[in-house]
Structure 1
């Protein structure tokens, strides 16, 4: 009986050590995450193998796993940039991005966990300054918002693609101009709109006048053609037809006593 405690103590110690080792060796990677393995005695960051995916993993207790979010993320940035004529513009933008899963080891080794602050944000700022500097405040305020957004995206993507970052979209959320410039642009746009409306009214009036002229010309041409086609015989026949119709009227007593100078019957008398 005295020997049992002496045997049990080493077994318990071994079990405790195993539990500690397993707890330090077990790594659980959550949904939308991936792990970069760092081998303390095996060359440091593992870059020639895929990152550790979601789920439970056992690694040597002397190694370490750095966990990264690999789902799409969003970062916001407020910037002050200059337009083509040197005016200060405030730009609010955001970027949708995610680290490239297949290059996660290299990203960790070369850029580190702060890659957003070290690489992505400075690149967005640089691209925004370059792009906005090509446009006037009027263009920024009105018609070029989509073009600016696309150009910032393309210039940023061209750089960060080589830095193991996948850029999905850049969104320009707000462009703020100096108040005096904004008011001047709004007045100019209003004047341009009023001018366009006035021109439209002039064009409409001109087209209406042309329509009336064309209709009048058509009637004149029709009358000329009709006059040219009427002969004395046709006029006489028309007159006879009209006289016969008039003679059928119940309100008139028609007496035909002869013909007039034109050769048409004469109608005398009515009630």
Structure 2
């Protein structure tokens, strides 16, 4: 609008000096033409609006917001209208207990009361984006600051509303995924009614009171010790079973040997052993007339 304003000023000056009594009246016509050119140029430049990728333009004329949005690129609009860029890319909003980690400085974690009355501290990140078709309605009803007016309060409220259905220990361990799915559905519904799309809800951390944490750790350690003891007992039972099988095999062998061997069988086995010993290259001593009428052979 700068060129339009400048052109109007020059045009007014041209009419003002268009008086025959003035020596500069001969410049009135060129001044008028220059003013008109600047006005036309200003109108053309004001009619062209560029929208960046990942944004949509919201057109407002005299306080009235149009339902038509401007797509990325160059767009022709009423030169008197104002255009507001609104981001439609994926955005994230983090609420964390760590200083300067989230959008708010300081401790911005969500503190809720579980079903057992214990206080649970939750760190959360919300991934969402603005629906382009709903941008004019959101601008008309909420304005540009919809993050602090919609995203933050709805998220914190729905988490507190749903946390009362779970015990603190369940939120921390066994039912964490169930809790995350439950709050996702509740927040998604509220966001959709406002023109926002909830893409993902990330429960980054759930902190319990120190006493509860210590109790859980003690329980986990006891369970691990019990599992270790079960393993040791199972190993000892297997070793005892192995020894019983081995002893039974020895007993069976001794019983078979005691009942199945005769004197002739023993004599035959001695002869076989002596023949093998005699065939070896080692030096040996043969003592005749040993027990059982069998030579006794001794080697080195």
TM-score (structure 1 length as normaliser): 0.78
Structure 1 unaligned regions, length at least 5? none
Identify the residue that residue 234 of structure 2 maps to in structure 1.
203
Go from structure 1 to structure 2 and tell me whether the alpha carbon gap of 1:256 and 1:194 turns closer, same or farther (over 3 Å shift). Answer: closer
Paired positions, count? 263
Instruction: Give 3-state SS (helix, strand or coil) of 1:7's partner.
Output: helix
Q: d(CA) in 1 for partners of 2:172 and 2:127?
A: 24
Structure number with higher relative contact order (C-alpha < 8 Å, ≥ 6 residues apart): 1
Identify the residue that residue 61 of structure 1 maps to in structure 2.
79
Answer whether contact 1:88 1:177 (CA < 8 A) is retained: yes
Instruction: Give 3-state SS (helix, strand or coil) of 1:120's partner.
Output: helix
Go from structure 1 to structure 2 and tell me whether the alpha carbon gap of 1:34 and 1:194 turns closer, same or farther (over 3 Å shift). Answer: same
CA RMSD across the alignment: 3.3
Q: CA deviation at 1:268?
A: 5.1
Q: d(CA) in 2 for partners of 1:214 and 1:131?
A: 60
Match of 1:238 among 269, 286, 296: 269
Q: CA deviation at 1:232?
A: 6.1
Identify the residue that residue 47 of structure 2 maps to in structure 1.
25
Q: d(CA) in 2 for partners of 1:129 and 1:222?
A: 75
When structure 1 is superposed on structure 2, of 148-157 and 4-13 the one drifting more is 148-157
Instruction: Give 3-state SS (helix, strand or coil) of 1:167's partner.
Output: strand
Q: CA deviation at 1:166?
A: 1.4
Match of 1:92 among 103, 108, 123: 123
Q: d(CA) in 2 for partners of 1:208 and 1:57?
A: 84
Q: How does 1:1-271 map to 2 (within 5 A)?
A: 5-40=27-62, 44-47=64-67, 49=68, 51-77=69-95, 78-221=109-252, 234-248=265-279, 250-254=282-286, 260=292, 266-267=294-295
Q: d(CA) in 2 for partners of 1:240 and 1:115?
A: 106
Go from structure 1 to structure 2 and tell me whether the alpha carbon gap of 1:224 and 1:109 turns closer, same or farther (over 3 Å shift). Answer: farther
Instruction: Give 3-state SS (helix, strand or coil) of 1:102's partner.
Output: helix
Structure 2 unaligned regions, length at least 5? 1-22, 96-108
Q: CA deviation at 1:92?
A: 1.5
TM-score (structure 2 length as normaliser): 0.72
Go from structure 1 to structure 2 and tell me whether the alpha carbon gap of 1:113 and 1:192 turns closer, same or farther (over 3 Å shift). Answer: same
